[in-house]
């Protein structure tokens, strides 16, 4: 069930039930460790998925993962970019 379908079902609820649902969702969001930025990103990904722009949501990047930058032979890429912009 996508967001639009869920909202459609919520609209059918009595006002008291909507209020209870809002309270439970609000509590749930406050209990989660997600930041506002992460929530916006997830909403955006869900929208892209629902509209068919993407076929699946890519796995999350974990900041704890070891990151090894790609080694480039020659001058730094940033210098190449600056040179190209000057042309």
Cα R_g (the chain), whole angstroms: 22
Its pTM stands at 0.36
Mean pLDDT of 61-68: 73
pLDDT digits (tens, 9 = 90+) for 16-28: 998 989 888 887 7
* Residue 33, CA distances (Å) to 20, 21, 27, 30 in order: 22, 20, 12, 8
Domain boundaries, the chain: 3-85
């Amino acid at each position: 069930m996508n967001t639009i379908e869920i909202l459609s079902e919520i609209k059918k609820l009595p006002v008291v039930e909507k209020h209870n649902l809002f309270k439970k969702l609000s509590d749930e969001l406050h209990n989660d460790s997600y930041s506002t930025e992460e929530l916006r990103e997830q909403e955006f990904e869900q929208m892209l998925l629902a509209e068919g722009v993407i076929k699946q949501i890519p796995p999350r990047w974990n900041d704890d993962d070891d990151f090894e930058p790609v080694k480039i032979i020659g001058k730094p890429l940033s210098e190449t970019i600056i040179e190209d912009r000057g042309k």
